[in-house]
Amino acid sequence: MRFIDEARVYVQAGKGGDGAIAFLREKYRPFGGPAGGDGGRGGDVILEVDEGLSTLLDFKYKPRLVARDGEPGRGKQQYGHQGGDLIVRVPPGTMAFDEESGEQLADLVMPGERAIIAHGGAGGQGNMHFASSTRRAPRIATPGTRGEQRSVRLELRLVAEVGLVGLPNAGKSTLLAALTAAHPKIAPYPFTTITPNLGRVQISDEEGFNLADIPGLIEGAHLGHGLGIRFLRHLKRTRALIYVIDVGSDPEQDFATVRRELEAFDPGMATRPALVALNKADLVTAEEAEKAAAAMRARSGLEVFVISAQRLAGLAALVGGIARLIATMETAPSNAADRLQSDAD
């Protein structure tokens, strides 16, 4: 399935039904009077989180979302039926924005969470409401109002506790595949990962965390270079970062580049809880790896793990370090609450 993290749709809520003009005429009620009922309310367009979805691909083929209109009122003071709401399923982490004003309409994370992105119109009033002592037979009714119509930009931001960041070909996809059941594309050349990938690391039967692999960053990523800002935004929801660095290159320079790009995109990311995974330790000597790790600890002030994702070496210690990092984070901010803080910044 293709990973699509942005889509544009036209949404139209239902129109309210018109009020009715009617009079009650029954054999034993000669003065029944006006009896036109109200129109039904138009249906809303509602987004609802479905945890079984992971892409906005469906909206590429269905760019119009239209709810049903309310029914007009009837005689004998009968109200028209309400128009059916249109409930649209979206993946966790979906945000909706009004294309014209830029207003944020929804930010949906938790399974089953809902948000109305277009309200249905109100039903019109029937002539039964306009009778008075001086107006016994009003032929007046009001039309239903139109439902909201707007162009909406849908944007998906992955929901994960931990995000993997690093330069291209640092081994992030290999690490994700080694720690989770995910199957990202892996090849010995840069930019193998061109879309974010998500997997779950299971620590025990009860404990685990979601891990996101973000396509490799290059110098100027915050300006849109390489895969740029489009995928950097997926890191906004992560609570912790793992800097994946190729121990065989220039680890300190690579770390500085990635850190600088994150900070330029969002200053808060540079202070987010993090640790460093010096990868590809199988390609250098143990002495070189430990020397690089010591220099990285002094440079970054972060906990550093020497690993080989290809050989599955050092991964247990790394997972233990991630678990400790998550456990020591400040209490309370869940992803559902964090999004309000991070996305407002």
Amino acid at 200: R
- Flag residues of the chain having pLDDT under 70: 1-3, 28-31, 182-195, 216-231, 330-345
Question: b/e per residue, 53-68, with b = 16+ CB within 10 A?
Answer: bbbbeebeeeeebbbb
- What CATH number is associated with residue 332? 3.40.50.300
Question: Among residues 156, 179, 195, which one ends one of the domains?
Answer: 156
Regarding whether 131 and 27 lie in a shared domain, the answer is: yes
- Start-to-end C-alpha separation, the chain: 32
- What CATH number is associated with residue 61? 2.70.210.12
pTM of the model: 0.72
Mind listing the pLDDT tens digit for each residue in 80-108?
999 999 999 999 989 999 999 999 999 99
| Domain carrying residue 315 | 162-344
* pLDDT value for 230: 60
Count the neighbouring beta carbons within 10 Å of the beta carbon of residue 132: 7
Question: Among residues 156, 182, 216, which one ends one of the domains?
Answer: 156
Residue 190, in any domain of the structure: yes
Regarding whether 300 and 191 lie in a shared domain, the answer is: yes
| CA–CA distance, 94 with 152 (Å, rounded to integer) | 12
Regarding whether 200 and 106 lie in a shared domain, the answer is: no
Residue 261, in any domain of the structure: yes
Q: CB of 227 within 8 A of CB of 215?
A: yes
Number of domains in the chain: 2
Regarding whether 232 and 99 lie in a shared domain, the answer is: no
Question: CA nearest 121: which of 65, 82, 64?
Answer: 82
| CA–CA distance, 258 with 264 (Å, rounded to integer) | 10
Question: Among residues 105, 140, 156, which one ends one of the domains?
Answer: 156
* pLDDT value for 291: 95
Q: CB of 18 within 8 A of CB of 146?
A: no
Regarding whether 191 and 330 lie in a shared domain, the answer is: yes
* pLDDT value for 344: 42
Residue 86, in any domain of the structure: yes
Regarding whether 86 and 172 lie in a shared domain, the answer is: no
* pLDDT value for 66: 97
Residue 1, in any domain of the structure: no
